[in-house]
Copies of this chain bind each other. A is one copy, B any other.
Amino acid sequence: MSSTAEQIAKNARFAGNVLKTLSNEDRSTILYKIHDALKASKNDIERANKLDLAAVEETGLSSSLVKRLDLFKGDKFDTMLQGIKDVADLPDPVGKVNFARELDEGLTLYQVTSPIGVLLVIFESRPEVIANITALCIKSGNAGILKGGKESLNTFKEMAKIINGTLADNEKTTGVPVNAVQLIQTRQDVNDLLSQDELIDLVVPRGSNALVRNIKNNTKIPVLGHADGICSVYIDEKADLVKAKRITVDAKTNYPAGCNAMETLLINPNFPSWTDVLTNLAEHGVTLHVTQEVKDALKEQGKLTGETADKVVDANESVDFDKEFLSLDCAVKFTPTALDAIQHINLHSSKHTDCIVSEDKPNAEKFLKAVDSADVYWNASTRFADGFRYGFGTEVGIATSKIHARGPVGLDGLVIYQYQIRGNGQVAGDYLGAGGNKAFVHKEIDVKTVTL
């Protein structure tokens, strides 16, 4: 098996080396061709997708899985097709000059964006990811190895056949290598691919946190993504009650299964209307896992009654503040100051998205500066953490790592840069620091004037 994985990775590396030299037009042209081919084969894909759905329904797996698997629910298939064209039409992320500097006369340094190289994308049940990732890889000049889950096997096989066929048919005319995207089926051991750290540059998992965690634990290749989305909202002493109620309800109930949903609510006990925030959440069907302190205070204020009483349960303090409920549940505790909230978040959050609700600008600025998460908000719902909402056009995923790219990641997260020097025979030995007497000029060049 291992040699197969190595061969796949080598094929990708070679394809990537060619892909990175092609023009934006070449890369976009093949995406249009893939779009047309998938569109023309809609019936075949639908047939394959129905086989996958039938198999899943037989096993009695969850309806949410079926929903994710069904490529023909509503306008999902057409949206997928449109997505390929949208990516094709985006500005070229490759070959952009970030900065240029004259080192000396006729010796110029350029920092130019370039593809990362080879991406391994592992996903579970959403078959539209195949088209989505194919488009993102080719547009960004990266070779992609796509590994689908067993639930979507038939759909995957059918779409792989069409994409591979389109690549093969157009290799000569567009120059895009047939191995630019390799679609690997479930028989292949994913661990063999994850061990190809010399050839694969980045792993992008798309799926459950169990999947992401498993991948992170089993590879030396950098992983772009997030396992958990433990997002917190902190209601400051000087919060606006209307904002606090609206934000907490939206953050928790708009899409509880989303990674950007609120899982922890931190309350400043000096905020006079804090009980209203909790009773309002209870009215919206949220079960509040509260600390003893919060429970006592609710009781003391006579609020532990009716609907609220039904929705208040004891928090298991050792686990609930590190938990992604992904349901209409929320852990609640007091943090007596903004600093306490910051410290709680920096210890317990998954570095995804955290929010302060406050009218106190210094406290809010302190929060924005101190919280160590990819996305930090002041008076806005955590649910805004999303590539579409940020205006990135398309999204690779949301990253919670600390290097390379954080938060919603667009095409920019799939490129890196190279330094180019263009000279006319200069040698280091002529310059100060390497034995010579010449000094460097180090004069910035306006990138707008640069054409390479």
Contact = CB atoms under 8 A, between A and B. Distances in A.
A366 to B, nearest CB: 7
Contacts of A421: 375-378, 380, 384
A357 B376 CA distance: 49
B390 A429 contact: no
Interface stretch (A63-71, A168-176, A400-408): A400-408
Contacts of A377: 420-423
Interface stretch (A24-32, A132-140, A159-167, A433-441): A433-441
A107 interface: yes
SS of A interface (majority):
mixed
B375 A427 contact: no
Contact of A428 (B103, B373, B383): B383
B380 A435 contact: no
Interface stretch (A287-295, A304-312, A411-419): A411-419
A336 interface: no
Contacts of A425: 240, 242-243, 246-247, 357, 379-380
A118 to B, nearest CB: 9
Contacts of A406: 416-419
Given A428-B254, A428-B383, A21 B370 contact: yes
B433 A389 contact: yes
Contacts of A334: none
A287 to B, nearest CB: 20
Contacts of A389: 103, 428, 431, 433, 440
Interface of A: 13, 16-18, 20-21, 95, 101, 103, 107, 109, 114, 116-117, 201-202, 216, 220, 222, 240, 242-243, 246-247, 249-251, 254-255, 342-343, 346, 357, 365-366, 368-370, 372-381, 383-386, 388-391, 401-404, 406-408, 416-429, 431, 433-435, 440, 442, 452
The winner among A117, A366, A369, A403 for most chain B CB atoms within 10 A is: A403
B247 A384 contact: no
A379 B442 contact: no
Contact of A101 (B222, B251, B391): B391
A117 B452 CA distance: 36
Given A375-B418, A425-B242, A391 B254 contact: no
